[in-house]
């Protein structure tokens, strides 16, 4: 049995291996994490519910996990709500659409690049110094300038573009998931949930 993370884009396709690196040392048996890819959050929201129900009915999965970016998700968030309120509302709304105990919706706050900001040391030296202030609470980088846009700005100031598919993938391969776990509370919730589900399934 394995986990099926539903991922929304090019950077997120490296997330399963990142999650597995944190999970495996904490389990009695290694876990399989096989992603299902969507073309952006819009497609995800149109089809995730039907896909999750079908996949879970197969009986071959521990759980379906939805690590969606909170920023940019086309959801009718309650007006003037805080980040935590948006997270709580959206998690409940999407889990209710599936209606299955082994579907767990989680969110990167505000995007998965927040996890990268937890360790400025993985970035080139000319980029690193500009990111130190965000390292302790990277998911507090806000909706006005979410982490992906912050990285684009910092990279451009040093004469190049930040490319999610290329740079993001390379950076995630360097990132220690334990460090990100310590500094990103919403990632911690995701990993703790997966760990509990895996242990309950006998891993």
Tens of pLDDT along the chain (203 residues)?
Answer: 799 999 886 656 788 889 999 999 999 999 999 988 888 889 999 999 999 999 999 888 999 998 888 877 788 988 888 888 988 999 999 999 999 999 999 987 756 778 888 888 888 888 887 776 555 555 544 445 667 777 888 888 878 888 877 787 888 889 999 999 998 888 999 999 999 999 999 98
- Overall pTM surpassing 0.85 (yes/no): yes
What is the number of H-type helices and E-type strands within the chain? Answer: 9, 5
Distance, in Å, from the CA atom of 14 to the CA atom of 11, rounded to the nearest integer, reads: 6
Domain boundaries, the chain: 2-200
Distance, in Å, from the CA atom of 73 to the CA atom of 196, rounded to the nearest integer, reads: 27
Residue 192 CB partners (closer than 8 Å, separation 6+)? none
- DSSP state, residue 55: H
CA distances from residue 106 to 156, 190, 196 in whole angstroms, order as listed: 31, 6, 15
- Between the two ends of the chain, the Cα-to-Cα distance in Å is 10
């Amino acid at each position: 049995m394995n986990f099926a993370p539903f991922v929304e884009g090019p950077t997120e396709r490296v997330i399963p291996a990142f999650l597995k690196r944190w999970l495996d040392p904490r389990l009695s048996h290694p876990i399989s994490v096989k992603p299902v890819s969507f073309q952006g959050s819009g497609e995800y929201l149109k089809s995730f519910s039907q896909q999750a129900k079908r996949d879970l009915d197969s009986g071959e999965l521990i759980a379906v996990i939805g690590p969606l970016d909170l920023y940019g998700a086309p959801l009718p968030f309650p007006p003037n709500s805080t980040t935590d309120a948006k997270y709580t509302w959206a998690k409940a709304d999407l889990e209710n659409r599936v209606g299955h105990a082994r579907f767990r919706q989680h969110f990167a706050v505000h995007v998965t690049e927040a996890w990268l900001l937890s360790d400025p040391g993985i970035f080139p030296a000319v980029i690193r110094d500009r990111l130190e202030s965000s390292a302790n609470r990277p998911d507090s980088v806000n909706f006005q300038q979410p982490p992906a846009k912050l990285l684009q700005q910092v990279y451009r100031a040093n004469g190049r573009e930040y490319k999610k598919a290329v740079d993001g993938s390379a950076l995630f391969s360097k990132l220690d998931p334990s460090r990100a776990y310590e500094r990103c509370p919403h990632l911690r919730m995701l990993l703790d949930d997966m760990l509990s589900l895996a242990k309950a399934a006998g891993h």
